[in-house]
Chains A and B, each alone.
Chain A
Amino acid sequence: MNTLLPNGFSDLEQFAEWALPTSTDRNRKRRASSMDAINAFYNAMRPRLEEILAYLDQFSLQEMPQDAQRLLFLSLSLAEVTIAVELFHEPRVTGGCDPERFVVAREITP
């Protein structure tokens, strides 16, 4: 798997496994991860987030170099895990239904 990120973001390459293209995969990854792993990812991404978004905004969603697209997928995974970190303090939705029952019928990618 190619894990390369754009220049200046190589320190985040250790989190390449979070660079997942679909919402379903990002949600499954969150639920399969420990809170320690989620916090490590969140804590590494959060201070860089504004810089990441400014970098990505050089491109349009449909025309991105692959390394930038991986960085985009990392940021979308951050959106996913943020709910676990900032709301529930655990990977799953406390008291929620089985998330697999929210079947994605349509979605935009990326």
Chain B
Amino acid sequence: MKTVMADRRWIKEHPDLGTGPVPTDTCTSPELFELERERIFRRTWLNLGREEDLPEPGSYVVRELAVANASVLLVRGKDRKVRAFHNICVHRGNRLVDGEKGVCKGRFVCRFHSWAYDTSGQLTWVSDEANFYDLDKGVLGLKPIAADIWEGFIFINLDPNPSETLAEYMAGMVQQIHGYPFAQQRLLCRYRVEERANWKVILDAQNEVYHLPFLHITYPDFCPMNEHKFSRIQKFTRFGRHTVYSVELNTDHKMKPVESIAINANPRGGQVHPSMIGWFDFYTVFPNFCMLFLAGTYVTYNIWPLAVDRSIWEVSMYHPATEKPSERFAQEYSRCLLRDLLQEDASNHEAIQASLMSGALSHFQLQDEEIQIRHFHKEVRRHIFGEENGAAAIGNNRDAAELRLK
């Protein structure tokens, strides 16, 4: 076994993350939520799905990003390039495309005055054009949003001048995950769950395995555990803003009868790709995107803030594409199991949020196996308060209210 069971391991590798309690204020303060909106969600690369969501030239998806007050149109052009635009007609600001997705066969036409755009965003038709003054269709066009693709994942950046390319932003993760066979995987299902919880409460609850034997008591032996039956991760790695924690296969896991048949029916689902660190790798791609590699399958979370105490949790489960019924059965078992365990989590997220809103708890207490959360909150604070103040707010355990006044 590769997992080291000793206590207090990770702080030795990451002393800069400190050991003090972490403030809860970013989960409850509307004022700090406004800072997150401006300094995180309008300035970082955000995942909006995968290339397969736009299968053919003209395929489009509209995403409403409440956190940025933005409606984003993703479209694949005739040249097959994926572009992102503000979903706004440049004439007088009407929403250009209604509906969540589709295929644009010709042009996007605004229903207000019939202005039309091609799939590369060019303004191609203005009704009654001769009656305008100095109107140059060639320079108008849809307002572009920076967009790029990494391993088939589509990212946008609402900053008009992003300070980093997507490749720079992803840092060393690019090398770690390179070669993973994303193209062989297919979306089995996507759930959308609206929760009365801050986006970080949802993310934090997934970003550790300490809770597994307790909250998920009916499935308690997912992870290797120490002699006291407390879970231990195999490895914790940081890539700039992002992290991955890895868990080794627990060979002591006791299988139930149908579970065992499902696992045996799905050999591909059990295969660990060489790009993986453990048997289960949980990546947190800052700010709100998680990738969970679970042996031969993977799951993504996109956690979209609606308000300081409301979010949408999108869960997408990917499995090897198959036409084989026994494999499909095994995938359905895996889906039902994860969905039900996540329903335990969802109930918990809302209980936490309700408690935090009382204002009675100013700080979270974190142990060594929750170092992922420590890193994440440090990054959140670094983005909203700036380099020096962000670190101080965690490391010296100072009240963020004091920092806000500076």
Contact = CB atoms under 8 A, between A and B. Distances in A.
B194 interface: yes
Interface string B323-352: 111101100110111011011101100100
B384 to A, nearest CB: 29
B188 A108 contact: yes
Contacts of A1: none
Interface stretch (A5-13, A32-40, A48-56): A48-56
Interface in A49-86: 49-50, 53-54, 56-57, 59-62, 64, 72, 75-76, 78-80, 82-83, 85-86
Contacts of A27: 336
A82 B259 contact: yes
B398 interface: no
A50 B342 CA distance: 28
3 nearest A-B pairs in the assembled complex, by CB-CB distance: A96-B343, A56-B325, A86-B256
A28 interface: no
Given A79-B336, A88-B218, A107-B189, A99 B343 contact: yes
Given A57-B325, A62-B323, A78-B258, A97 B350 contact: yes
Contact of A96 (B189, B322, B347): B347
8 contacts: A54-B326, A76-B328, A76-B332, A88-B218, A93-B340, A93-B344, A101-B346, A102-B315
A74 B244 CA distance: 38
Contacts of B342: 102
A95 B343 CA distance: 8
A78 B333 CA distance: 8
Interface string A89-103: 000011111010111
B47 to A, nearest CB: 15
A102 B262 CA distance: 23
A61 B333 contact: no
Interface centre among B333, B336, B344 (most CB of A within 10 A): B336
A46 B256 CA distance: 11
B328 A82 contact: no
A50 B189 contact: no
A101 B193 contact: yes
A72 B325 contact: yes
A106 B189 contact: yes
Interface in B181-218: 186-195, 218
A72 B218 CA distance: 27
Nearest to B219: A87
A97 B323 CA distance: 33
Contacts of B218: 87-88, 94
B188 A75 contact: no
B329 A75 contact: yes
B186 A108 contact: yes
Contacts of A82: 256, 258-259, 262, 333, 336
B51 interface: no
Contacts of B350: 97
Given A57-B324, A80-B336, A87-B219, A108 B189 contact: yes
A56 B314 contact: no
A72 B191 contact: no
B325 A106 contact: no
Nearest to A102: B191
A24 B107 CA distance: 36
B177 interface: no
Contacts of B189: 23, 104, 106-108
Nearest to A108: B188
Contacts of B193: 97, 101-103
Contacts of A54: 326
B106 interface: no
A54 B327 CA distance: 11
B138 interface: no
Contacts of B325: 53, 56-57, 59, 61, 64, 72, 75
A61 B180 CA distance: 26
A57 B346 contact: no
Contact of B191 (A49, A76, A105): A105
A22 B175 CA distance: 39
B265 A105 contact: no
B347 A86 contact: no
Interface string B254-266: 0011110110010
